[in-house]
Chains A and B, each alone.
Chain A
Amino acid sequence: MPWFAGLLLLTGGPILASLFLSFTDFDLLTTPSWVGLDNYARIMDDPHFGNAVRITMIYVVASVPLSGGFALLVAVLLNRPMRGVGVYRAAYYLPSLLGGSVAVAILWRQIFGPDGLVNDVLSAFGIVGPSWISTPEYAIYTLVALHIWQFGSPMLIFLAGLKQIPAELYDAAAVDGAGKVRAFFQITLPMLSPIIFFNLVLQTVNAFKAFTPAFILSGGTGGPADSTLFYTLYIYQEGFGNFRMGYASALAWILLLVTAVFTALAFRSSRYWVHYAD
């Protein structure tokens, strides 16, 4: 089982190492020294911690439902028989292939910059737009927009799910006089609920882990005024920028626990709204 050895060495090893380091004072350059729970105590009175949690929660809460809803909408539209549907599906999937990349984040910086595309369009309507990425109130939402734009992967999964719904159900509903909207809420959504659940969990975990867009958009600072300081970016700054790898490891373990709690909550709630057709 070579893959298992790989998992153990390349993933398990670092995970255990970071657990150990989270109980040490480790500055990257000298030997770690054991400090017990000091790092976890330090988190309690760190003003950046609360801010990073707040920013990350805004990102998760805003981007997961919006991108999921958008992906579902597009999937439903692309599920209808029409000419050249394959081309459309490929075209809509494209941003997901590029989305996590550095190049797109740089492109985003141009689009939402003071002289960017968005403000060019606004100025055509006589509106003078702010510099979206360098104003704390808006910067985080440009990142949310970037996330929504990458709806391709959940869209594909939704599409596969839509194909699984037996056509007889819709035929029967039509015979009974149900309209399109009624059919969507009474048939499509319940039949799709396992897929929705799957996407919800996956997208939530991904949103908690988001790093690249904030790093590129803010030049690694999480600025302006900490408004894009994602939790992962803060971990990176503390560990690699400020020589506090022990503290960064403790922060990383908190993230793991929080993500696990959210996933557990999603699983717990699933019995009330996810319907398995078996």
Chain B
Amino acid sequence: MAELPIRATLATSRRRTWRTRSRPVSIIVFGLIVAACLLAPVIDRHSPITPDPANAFAPASAQHWLGTDELGRDMLARLLYGGRLSLSVAGGAVVIALVLGTAWGLLAASTRGLADQLLMRTADVAMAIPQILFGLVCVAAFGASLPSLIIIAGLLLSPTSARMARAVVIQEMTLDYYAAAVACGTGRVRLMATEVLPNVAPALGSQAVINAASAIILEASLSFVGLGVQPPQMSWGGLLQQGYAFLFNDPSYAIGPAVFILLTVLCLNLAADRLGGASLLGPGRAR
């Protein structure tokens, strides 16, 4: 820290102001997407699954805001109901990865030694297999129902979360307060639960937001190749697959789901990036 590169510090400070200013935008947009999906029946009164063959491939109109698909089903309704599924896969996976990853990393950090080695090498191996391929293996083995997709995505995201959790917990354990608390005879478990975990919560939270983006991509990838949820259930990835089949007949079909996936992932990535500056959230950790 003796010699701070001046250009870099100036840049980071400027970037930080820009970051803090633009943080709400990504969160607001993401909130709007979630709200729209939750309020789907209010926003669009059409059923997402009732076919209307006479109206197939209708262009955007006052009746169907984004037109209709190959069976005359309302596109907007399908996108919003599909979003519910994509977002619930992401939400479920994030919770699983948060719980499992934190427990995994915490266990490794607090045991050290052989157990730590074993836990972390397992994470390394799981991460050496490209995520989507591991996803294909899991879907082939466990099927593609909604619960199994949530569990698969959650499991696939856990090793990264575990590694991150271990790193921040170990860093926390080097601090004076930790040594002081241990010296005072505070139980390890209690210390972890009441002091360490709350202190590393911002880091875990930002990892969870990144995980949400990864889960959206994973679900979309699997559904796009037909290995995600099966019709009549729909998700953004599944709708993209249908749009892909009609790329040359109706180019606008694929754009809807593509935009929803991109916008959601972008907002989550941006939000995670802002949260990443943990000083914003963690009291007492301000630099």
Q: Tell me whether A and B are bound partners.
A: no
Residues of A within 8 A of B (CB): none
Residues of B within 8 A of A (CB): none
